[in-house]
Amino acid sequence: MGLKGFDNIWYCDKCDIHFKDEDDYIYCPNCGDVLKNDWYQMALQSIEKYLNETSQSVCEDCCEEFDISYNFCPLCSNKLKKESIMGEIRKDNSITAYWNGEEICVFDKNDFLDSPHFSGTIVIDCFKWKNRLDYKLESDFLKIDEKPPQKLSFAETYSIFNKRGSGIIVRDILEFLPKYTEDNSDHKKPAFDHINILKIRDDLYVKIVVDYIEY
C-alpha cells in the first residue's frame, strides 16, 4: 500500500491565506503569525504529547541520565531527580527538548520537509532509544578495553533512525565499534534480514539491523 501524498500547503489561521510549496516561508507576510500545515501540526502534536508524558531520572552528582523507573543512581546510590525532557514550542512552531542536559531544537520545518511522513516518529524514536544507546555505547567500548567516546548527540542519534524515507526501519542496534573492517562483518548470520553499518563520527561506527518497508 502506497503512502498518502504529502499536502505541502501552509496557511495562516488569522488571515485565511494559503501558500503552496513556499518552503522558505515560516511567518505570514500579511500579519506575522506562524504559518501552519496540517501534516506538520500532527507531527508536532505527537512529539509534544510524547515528550510531555516522558520524564527521566537524573543524578546531579554523576551528571548521568537514567530511565524514569530508577529512583537511585546505579553509579553512586544517590537519590535521583525526576525531570521532564520537554522544552517548549517556540514562536516559529519548532519544538525544543533537553538532550544530555542541554535544551536543543529537535523538530522544525526543515526537519519536517526532509521527511514529512516520518520525521515525527524519528524524533520520538531518538528519545525512546536514548538510554539504551548511551549504555550500549559505553559497554561496547569497555568490552574491547577502549575508553568510551562521548555520548551521541541528538543529530547523531537522529542519523541512525532517519532511514524510513528510504524504506527502512531500524529494528535493533547490534554494536558500536571504533572502526569497521571485514572482521566485523555479520554475513554469517542469516537470521537477520539485513545488516547495515553507519559511520557516526571519526572512529565511531554502529551496526544496525533493519527491516524494509513495502510502500
Residue 89 to residue 201: CA distance in whole angstroms: 30
Grid coordinates representing 106? 529537535
Percent of the chain with pLDDT over 70: 91
Tell me the backbone φ, ψ of residue 184, rounded to 5 degrees: -90, 0
**Structure confidence by residue, pLDDT tens digits, 172-214:** 999 999 988 766 665 555 444 567 899 999 999 999 998 887 7
Residue 119 to residue 158: CA distance in whole angstroms: 10
Please compute the mean of the pLDDT values over residues 3-16 and round it to a whole number.
85
Kindly compute the dihedral angle of the four CA atoms of residues 20, 24, 27, 30, in this order, to the nearest 10 degrees. -60
pLDDT greater at residue 157 or residue 211: 157
**Structure confidence by residue, pLDDT tens digits, 70-127:** 899 988 999 998 888 888 999 999 999 999 989 999 999 999 999 998 999 999 999 9
Across the chain, mean pLDDT equals: 87
The confidence score (pLDDT) of residue 192 equals 47
The confidence score (pLDDT) of residue 3 equals 67
The confidence score (pLDDT) of residue 142 equals 95
Grid coordinates representing 125? 524514536
